[in-house]
Amino acid sequence: MGKISKKNGGDPSKEVQWSSVMDDALVDAFLYQVNIGGRVNGTFTSKGYDDIVKELVEKFHMEINKDKVKNRQNTLKKNFHECYDIFKDGLSGFGWNDSLNMWTTELEVWEPLIASKPAAKKWMTTPIPNYSKMAQLWAKDRAKGDHAETAKEKRARYAASTTIDEIDDLISQNEVYLENFEVEDDQSSPQINVARSRVTSQDAMSSKSKKRRLAEDDELGNVISQSFDNVSKAIDRMTEGMTKCFSKSYGAEVHTAFDVLDLDPISKTEAYIFLMENPTYKEMFFGCPDHERKCVLLTLMSRPKN
């Protein structure tokens, strides 16, 4: 093989055969760029791509350039979205199998799902490695499709009938913001518009009207307050569920990552407890390239506990 230019990753016309190990390294490199600010407004910077190319060329000694990285990213993202769109709402009876990298359940549970969503049949036998990592990278993209609700449509739906189940759906797509509950002069809330129409009546300046206005303002405040209470409850519930899910997933990933670090059993146990008790350090550990993880881990563990 000829000398590879690290600047552009070699011959751009030569096809790259991506292996599972290369995919793992690519996903880790993308996550690392996210952690260090290499992705802005959902798009990786030019320098971020350059750093990823440089890392892959040095690690695999193959002719890889920015276009090939972007093409592979699109392939992985498309594959992830196909699976994620089916299972993102947490289908009853299904569980994630870390060792198989698949969603698994009994055959009788698969059958009705495939009947309603034929595309699900593929995922009975097709593994999808790095699923949780790709969820961190690309799950938010599913909220930006052509059929995504506008902010005004969300406010209308929530002002009319705000329920925890509806807010759960928005939270699952990372779309709950304070502006979802801003009050606008539209037809989104019958309760709010009735209050406002009364306040602007001709006798608004009379003593009786002022008292009525205060009562209606209290009613409006109660509607908004209840909406925020529902959001708070939904966030608490989602946080608890996500914590349990990702704790299990990360625990398995930590064990897998330790297998290549050449740690003795006692050190491995201490390191596992250390990372699971320190979420920030755990992200730093997984955010760095594989060959640097042992050094990073030992450095973090040697730091003072305070």
The region, left, alpha or beta by phi > 0 then psi within -120 to 50, assigned to residue 277 is alpha
Q: Per-residue pLDDT tens, the chain, 306 aa: give them.
A: 444 444 444 555 568 899 999 999 999 999 999 999 999 988 999 999 999 999 999 999 988 999 999 999 999 999 999 999 999 877 888 999 999 999 999 999 999 999 999 999 999 999 999 999 999 999 887 655 444 444 444 454 444 444 455 455 555 544 444 444 444 444 444 444 444 444 444 444 556 666 677 777 777 777 787 777 777 777 777 766 666 555 556 677 777 877 777 788 888 788 888 878 888 887 887 888 877 888 888 888 888 865
Q: How far is CA 163 from CA 12, 151, 170, 233, in A?
A: 53, 17, 11, 10
Distance CA 28, CA 25 (A): 5
The answer to whether 174 touches 244, Cβ cutoff 8 Å, is no
Distance CA 117, CA 111 (A): 10
The answer to whether 86 touches 102, Cβ cutoff 8 Å, is no
Distance CA 255, CA 188 (A): 50
Label residue 206 exposed, middle or buried (CB < 10 Å: 0-12, 13-18, 19+). exposed
Sign of the alpha-carbon torsion through 168, 169, 170, 171: positive
Query: Which of helix, strand or coil describes residue 16?
Result: coil
Supply the pLDDT for residue 143: 56
